[in-house]
Amino acid sequence: MDLKVYEGLKIRVQEIIDLIAEKNTKDANNKLTLVSENLDELLDHAEEDDELLEISRYQVLLNQLHQKINAE
């Protein structure tokens, strides 16, 4: 498992959260789409159980952020 990949995801998710806090839902939604696509690619290539677990955590978080963006 490449920790740099997950650090990058963590940073981009924080950027989405910051955009939501700034009420910039358009940019937040665009960034969320890009991160979701990247996460799908990681899922396609995941081989280890710990990778699948980490990816699923991010999927849940992104789903919650998506709901938050669309609720506003």
pLDDT at residue 1, as a whole number: 62
- Give the pLDDT confidence of 8-44 residue by residue, as tens digits: 999 999 999 999 999 999 999 999 999 999 999 999 9
The pTM (predicted TM-score) of the whole model is 0.91
Q: How far is CA 32 from CA 1, 7, 11, 47, in A?
A: 23, 16, 12, 24
Q: Which residue has the tokens 């919650």?
A: 64
pLDDT band for position 2 (cuts 50, 70, 90):
confident
Q: What angle do CA 36, 1, 52 make, to 5 degrees?
A: 50
Is the pLDDT reported for residue 65 higher than 80?
Answer: yes
Give the DSSP letter string of 15-66: HHHHHHHTT-HHHHHHHHHHHHHHHHHHHHH--SHHHHHHHHHHHHHHHHHH
